[in-house]
Chains A and B, each alone.
Chain A
Amino acid sequence: MRPQVLEKEYKYGFHTKIAVEEAPKGLNEDIIRFISTKKNEPDFVLQFRLKAFEYWKKIVEPKWALVNYPPIDYQDIRYYSVPKTKKAPKSLEDLDPELLKTFERLGIPLTEQKRISGVAVDAVFDSVSLGTTHKEVLEKHGVVFCSISEAIQTRPDIVKKYLGSVVPYTDNYFATLNSAVFTDGSFVYIPKGVRCPLDLSTYFRINNKESGQFERTLIVAEEGSYVNYLEGCTAPSYDNNQLHAAVVELVALDNAEIKYSTVQNWYSGDVNGQGGVYNFVTKRGLCKGVNSKISWTQVEAGAAITWKYPSCILQGDNSVGAFYSVALTNGKMQADTGTKMIHIGKNTKSTIISKGISANESSNVYRGLVKVMPSAENARNYSQCDSMLVENKATAHTHPYIEVNNKTAIVEHEASTSKISADQLFYLESRGFDVESAISLLVNGFCKDVFKQLPLEFSVEAVKLIEMKLENSIG
């Protein structure tokens, strides 16, 4: 019907040539001790890792998600890989120019003159954080924003208190693996009553062909504090699969608010489904205090397979959880994503808005749980799950699980499935829109409720990303 738009190149698919220090492939206690020693960790962290590893050996990979992939050989993965440096760089300016160039190509300039104003960035390259920007301003407000490795050295008290408190090492197969081998990730601490003066953001880059990325992020918002956190992800185009098994833990105390946004654009494999990142991620926020708020906003546009359920435990009375998601799959991508909202406290509220777009031969699953515990008087949930199919071979599934154990709860669920139809395209074309702008208009309309949750620049990026991915997909 229309000429197939040529597959646009994944523009982040380049590889950075850089000398690395790495552990041999494989996973055993020695490797874990090696990682821990390299990072000069206190004993409690090593013990956490070893317990997780012991547990991991006894459990098996979950199979309930609607995704297919060949068995992963966990002994064929490199668990530690960091760029080699002669001496520790004092600041980001002293980094290997190759690394600075890499991040510049990714649109994340790190040097003083070029860095983005209003946003502090933590740049994570394979297993290591390269450093964070805007440190001085943040320090003035008592905000700690650094890599988790650094936090283990400088703020072991906080790390010890909260590490594994939201996602215990026994949580699930991939979280357990992460607990054993996590290398880097971001750490954020917002002191009592502080509204973080900048948006904080972490940019994750996988570079090594054989390494996995096991980042671990911990965000603690003390009473009455506020933080807006963003993360972005890309990886080179390799013909093999890289495993990305991250854990993110958020803790919001009384009256605190955390907004966490992700734009995920990992390499998703070629047209034949060769290569791409396995994005097996556990993200969970604990609304520990009264009136606390946590919101997850995600735009999932990359990765060969996504297995991810950013969730909220609404423990504090009157706490509020939200999940806004756009998941786009094209080519042979598979996504099984959604959320869990666990209502424990009284008058807790949650909102779920999920928009799945599936194109080509991809599979897109929404899987979500709303659970109201007996203690959660007057809990309220509203869920809306919409799927959009772009071609006949694509599939969309919605699996909402609702468990209500308190009669005062009000739980609503709405779902719809639609298609970008030839009629819609022709209608818009006959009003002067070319195919690309017509698709962009349709998709923006479909995702509007989610995009409006993102900070402005991120929202513009997200729209562009989705448009670019879809241009390739409409036949």
Chain B
Amino acid sequence: MLDIKNIHASINGKEVLKGLNLTFRPGEVHAIMGPNGSGKSTLAKVVAGHPEYQVTEGEIEYEVNFRKKDLKAMEAYERAREGIFLAFQYPVEVPGVSNIHLLHSAFNMVCKHQGVEEMSQGEFRKFIEKKCEMLELKPQFLDRSVNEGFSGGEKKKNEILQMAVLNPRVAVLDETDSGLDIDALKIVAGGINRLKNQENCIVLITHYQRLLQYVVPDYVHILSDGKIIKTGDKALALKLEEEGYDWLIKS
């Protein structure tokens, strides 16, 4: 569904991704691990279409509903409407805009784009309150300004809430587990598992094996210096936890 072929990407003239290949298929969970500065967040931003990152070489092919799309040629918002989702490592504050307003607007924009009927305010409120329960968020959470004054846990839960609303085909979660206590981690992981299905693909970018105990990956990829240097299954993550990256990078 998403084919990343020999991607080279740079920011401010500095090359960060240096010929990266990955294939994501529906129903799969991928974990991407790697040392700091290896290009994990860059990969996430390149897939989501951050305008400051330039793809200098390679292709990103995306297939949704049997239609092939050239992701590179699409703006970030078009990608979002076509089912690409990025959960931010550092969710951004949007002062004065209520959470429910953002969620509702985003939901309706995606519906409109995909030719599905939009929801009224009342309908959406009911729909979203159900999703909130899944993440153990109180309904009042919806009326606060987006990410403003949210705790670290609330911010990350809110990202998963947005994912639940947008119902993406490819969801890249950039360090969604960082900064979470164990209870919040379980709730977030539970949310991800509920949203996982045979039609979407979940990509977890993480430093820690911990999240992967709850959301079990089919593949674990090691990213180093802008390339995938090893791919394995969940056992690879465990080995990393014990031995670090040195054995991989030196060899």
Contacts and interface: CB of A to CB of B under 8 A. Distances in A.
Interface of A: 1-2, 418, 421-424, 426-435, 437-438, 441-442, 444-449
6 contacts: A1-B51, A422-B52, A426-B76, A430-B88, A431-B80, A437-B109
B112 to A, nearest CB: 10
Nearest to A451: B96
A449 to B, nearest CB: 8
3 smallest A-B Cβ distances: which pairs?
A445-B96, A445-B97, A429-B76
Contact of B77 (A1, A433, A442, A444): A433
B113 interface: yes
Interface of B: 48-52, 75-77, 79-81, 85-86, 88, 91-97, 102, 105-106, 109-110, 113, 145, 162, 166
Contacts of B109: 432-433, 437
B176 to A, nearest CB: 14
Contact of A433 (B49, B79, B91, B106): B106
Contact of B80 (A418, A421, A429, A446): A429
B51 A426 contact: yes
Contacts of A449: 96
Nearest to A438: B77
Contacts of B94: 424, 427-428, 441-442, 445
Contacts of A422: 51-52
Contacts of B113: 432
Contacts of A435: 77
Nearest to B109: A432
Given A1-B52, A2-B51, A441-B105, A429 B95 contact: no
B95 A430 contact: no
B46 to A, nearest CB: 12
A2 B49 CA distance: 13
A441 B88 CA distance: 19
A418 B94 CA distance: 11
Given A2-B51, A441-B102, A431 B162 contact: yes
A430 B105 contact: no
A343 B199 CA distance: 66
A429 B52 CA distance: 13
Nearest to A355: B96
B76 A446 contact: no
A448 B94 CA distance: 12
Given A433-B109, A434-B77, A441-B102, A427 B91 contact: yes
A19 to B, nearest CB: 49
Given A1-B51, A1-B52, A2-B51, A430 B86 contact: yes
Contacts of B92: 421, 423-424, 426-427
Contacts of A1: 51-52
A247 B38 CA distance: 64
Nearest to A418: B95
Contact of A432 (B52, B77, B145): B77
Nearest to A429: B76
Most buried by A among B91, B93, B145: B93
A427 B88 CA distance: 8
Nearest to B148: A445
A432 B92 CA distance: 15
Residue of B51, B92, B96, B110 ringed by the most chain A CB atoms within 10 A: B96
A414 to B, nearest CB: 13
Contacts of A447: 96
Contacts of B95: 418, 445-446
Nearest to B113: A432
A432 B52 CA distance: 18
A1 B49 CA distance: 13
A435 B50 CA distance: 13
Nearest to A423: B92
Contacts of B85: 430
B97 A434 contact: no
Nearest to B103: A431
A423 B146 CA distance: 14
Contacts of B81: 432
Q: Which of A1, A423, A442, A445 has the most CB of B within 10 A?
A: A445
A311 B75 CA distance: 46
A438 B113 CA distance: 16
A431 B94 CA distance: 13
Contact of B96 (A421, A438, A446): A446
A431 B167 CA distance: 11
A448 B97 CA distance: 8
B106 A431 contact: yes
Contacts of A445: 94-97, 145
A445 to B, nearest CB: 3
B163 to A, nearest CB: 10
Given A1-B51, A422-B52, A426-B51, A432 B106 contact: yes
